[in-house]
Amino acid sequence: MNVLAIFKKEWRAYFASPIAYVVLTIFALISGYFFYSLLAFFSLSSLQATMNPGFGPGLNVSEWIVRPLFRDIAITMLLLMPAATMRLFSEEKKTGTIELLFSYPIRDWELLLGKFLAALALYSAMLGISLVDIAMLGSLATLEWGLILSGYLGLLLLGMAFLGLGILASSLTENQVVAAVGAFGVLLLLWVIGWSTEAAGPTLGPILSHLSIINHYDSFAKGTIESRDVIFYLNFTLLCLFLTLRSLESKRWRG
């Protein structure tokens, strides 16, 4: 199947270059640091609560460690995903291999899906690294696994949205740096756009809140799965992939 062939090609390309190693290493270091900091702060707060019962009532591992860790992971992905997607089409355009791919009996959607799945596999590997911290925490305390499952589902959907926009940016330029910076800039704007909802007024405020890519993750971080949030991330990803497909079709016809 063409999709599988493209997937294997892109997966090998990730590890044939430093991109996968750098992204995975940086993520492991940053997420590990966040986990250590949260665990150390929780341990200190627990010690103080033991010595002073009036201090810090309701200390909970999920509230103090798991939820903040998921939020920190989301921020880390915001920084790293544009780097993971920047070469997917930009490199093909710069080297001219995109025309060679167009000459093969491969449909545009197969090419796009294969590349998207390879990026998603790399993203999943990053989430797998964070599971080491969760497993370590589970050996020390009782965890709310429902919260953890919903949190990871939210991270997966959020990551798909990041990847979709990153691939779209990569399809629009031959410069990998431009693709990475452009994707990061748009994602950052969609991240912070919800901060101005109160100042925007009762009409524009709800629209900005709905467009905020991180606001839809809040329900997952609280252990609940809202269908509207799932639909938002799926629609966002599909829209980005659709626009990427149109960009590829335009390139094919111009070529």
Structure-block tokens of residue 111: 């090419």
Cβ pair 91, 176 in contact under 8 A: yes
Q: What is the pLDDT of residue 46?
A: 75
- pLDDT of 121 reads 96
- Interhelix angle for 176-192 vs 145-171, to 10°? 130
Q: Output the DSSP codes for 40-75.
A: HHHHHHHHHHHH-TTSSTT--HIIIIIHHHHHHHHH
Q: Report the alpha-carbon distance of residue 29 to residue 149 in Å, rounded.
A: 23
Query: Phi/psi of residue 59, each to 5°?
Result: -60, 125
Counted domains in the chain: 1
Predicted TM-score of the model (pTM):
0.91
Give the pLDDT score at 205: 77
CA distance 234 to 111: 20
Mean pLDDT, each 10-residue run in order, the chain (255 residues): 90 91 94 93 79 63 89 93 92 82 83 95 95 88 88 95 96 93 94 77 78 89 90 96 90 63
Left (φ > 0), alpha (ψ -120 to 50) or beta: where does 224 sit?
A: beta
CA distance 180 to 2: 27
How many Å apart are CA 234 and CA 125, to the nearest integer?
20
Structure tokens at 189: 């704007």
- Separation CA 139–CA 123 (nearest Å): 25
Given a contact cutoff of 8 angstroms between Cβ atoms, the answer to whether 159 and 123 are in contact is: yes
Looking at residue 119, its pLDDT comes to: 96
Is residue 105 classed as helix, strand or coil in its secondary structure?
coil
Instruction: Please name which of 172, 173, 169 lies closest in space to residue 161, comparing C-alpha atoms.
Output: 169
- Segments in the chain forming alpha helices (H): 2-16, 18-51, 61, 67-85, 87-95, 97-103, 108-138, 145-171, 176-192, 197-211, 218-221, 227-254
Range of the domain at 13: 2-253
Determine the longest span between alpha carbons in the chain, in angstroms: 73
pLDDT for res 55: 55
Non-local CB neighbours of 25 within 8 Å, separated by 6+ positions: none
pLDDT of the residue at 47: 77
